Amino acid sequence: MFTVRHEPKNRGGFTIVEIIIVIVVIAILAAISLVAYGGIKERAVASSIMSDLDKARKSIDMKSFTHTTQIDLPEAFSPSGNNQVEIVKMNLPSYKNMSPVQNGVLFYSICGDLVAAGYGKSENNGGALEQYITACNVYNYNQLQVNSSWSGHNFSTPVQSSALPDIVEGINYNDSWRPNRDQTEKDFYSAWASRFLAQGGSYPVTSFWDPWANDGNGGVKSQALPTPVTQAGKYCLEGYNQSYPDVRYMVVSGGSISEGACPTVE
């Protein structure tokens, strides 16, 4: 009787499935590395912009920002790499010595001004103009609501300085029909943040008001803004990087470095 022996087959290489799995794993790791590198690079760029702004601020007389004559950065000042630092003239009303409620009124008013100016609008792929941010409302003393066509944002007191930048950072709709929506809303909240500081607002915002309040019911009454301080001829330093034009920081005269572009609305 003969016994048939089956010799094990010698595998000469990887199967197609194994190769595909390896390629997919490598691609995922590469994508993760690129995202991480991009974040590190952007933070480094932001740090260098703020450093250049600080140098620019120290290189000129900040008091001259209140003069009506044009001022320029000294020729010896040179920003690093692809960074740019510019002096921007502002024409916005500014307020001083505001009460907590007036500070909240300013925060709310700027939101409404931006909606009225069309900052919440942009075209979709069909060429139609859509209103992504529709209104700003205060319903009681401790909350402001921003309405949009789909969803909105609620700001509960105390509103910290990180509130608006955090919204900008988190916007990512991935809407192919509305490719401009992301940038439109980012521009809205960035402009809101920069104008609030430029017009004399301060954080945290600790109070809004009760729309139903009167002298007899104990609610928090709204207060008119004080007489604005003239800002004609007032300037702002703005820094950005040519490779990262959306990463912008500013210094309003008398203030510290903050995220966002200098406000320039008449």
Domain map (residue ranges) of the chain? 41-259
Task: Give the separation between CA 261 and CA 250, rounded to whole angstroms.
Answer: 6
Which of residues 145 and 57 earns the better pLDDT score?
A: 145
Average pLDDT over the chain, rounded to an integer: 82
How confident is the model at residue 101, as a pLDDT? 97
The candidate with the shortest Cα–Cα distance to 84, out of 252, 245, 221, is 245
Distance of CA 130 to the CA centre of its chain: 21
Tell me the angle at which helices 181-198 and 100-116 cross, rounded to the nearest 10 degrees: 140
Its sign, for the CA torsion 35, 37, 41, 43, is: positive
Which residues is 72 bridged to in the sheet?
none
Residue found by looking up tokens 């139903």 in the block: 212
Tracing tokens 């402009």 back to the chain, one arrives at 191
pLDDT band at 66 (very low <50, low <70, confident <90, very high): very low
Looking at the DSSP bridge assignments, the partners of residue 25 are none
Candidates 62, 79, 80; CA nearest to 71 is: 62
Query: Is the pLDDT assigned to residue 17 strictly greater than 70?
Result: yes
Question: 1: which residues sit within 8 A by CB, 6+ positions away?
Answer: none
Please tell me the predicted confidence (pLDDT) of residue 83: 92
Q: Give the pLDDT score at 34.
A: 64
Q: Is the pLDDT of residue 65 over 80?
A: no
How does pLDDT run across 197-246, given as a tens digit for each residue?
878 899 999 999 999 998 888 899 999 999 987 655 567 888 999 888 87
pLDDT at position 7 = 54
pTM: 0.65
